[in-house]
Amino acid sequence: MRKPAHKSFYVRVVKRALDVAVGIAAMPVLGATIAVFGPAIWLEDHGPVFYNAPRMGKDWKPFTMYKFRSMKVNAPDLVMEDGSTYNGADDPRMTRVGAFMRRSSIDELPQFLNVLKGDMSVIGPRPDLERETELYEGDEGEKLLVRPGITGWAAVSGRNALQWHDRLKLDVEYVRNVSFAFDLKVFFLTFKTIFSQEGVYVEDGNAANAPALAAACNGAETIER
């Protein structure tokens, strides 16, 4: 019987070795980015530079995902009707520098530290909040059979412009077909997605309750996504 793709030698050994190599290579870029954006983030509202985001990782093990903080301190977690977190271009929770980092995906660069720690892979399904994993339907939990990624198949196939369960379907498709060729395809498509800024935010049709969510910002106190 053919071994599942997520248990292949490539995933267990080669993919991890490539992750470490890319993670080490990314450290100078991360250092330079911290030097530039760290002061800008702090100067805007004197809040922390980094946001430690709790996420669910491989085999349902929680971990802390690192990000540059792109939202105001104590910004509320605004939940969409499908259970996912609101992420719109008009999101009042974002700081000015945070809006730029979000559009350019610079806020995700600290996750290369997660890659080196072994929490994440360069390429894999984007990690969800624990409360979101409780809303998985059918085989959607299969996305947790591999390490979550900084970028992934869903991220280059529509990103936040897709409905959340459509993104989960693409995550499962990735897990079932992960290979070096698939990862290489996602890797190069990631640059196209970043430079075109495709799917950074939810589309109007996916955010029917956005006005109510934005209004909830006043006085609510939780954390950014």
pLDDT greater than 90 at residue 15: yes
208: pLDDT confidence band, cut at 50, 70 and 90? very low
Q: What's the pLDDT tens digit per position in 94-149?
A: 899 999 999 899 999 999 999 999 999 999 999 999 999 999 999 999 999 999 99
Q: What is the pLDDT of residue 92?
A: 84
Mean pLDDT of the chain: 87
pLDDT greater than 70 at residue 220: no
The Cα–Cα gap between 133 and 123 comes to: 20
Q: Print burial letters for 179-217: b (CB count within 10 Å at least 16), e (below 16).
A: eeebbeebeebbeebbeeebbbbbeeebbeebeebbebe
Report the predicted TM-score, pTM, of the whole model to 2 decimal places.
Answer: 0.85
And the tokens for 150?
Answer: 């900084």
Mean pLDDT of the 77-93 span: 77
Taking CA atoms, 36 is separated from 26, 73, 101, in Å, by 16, 20, 12
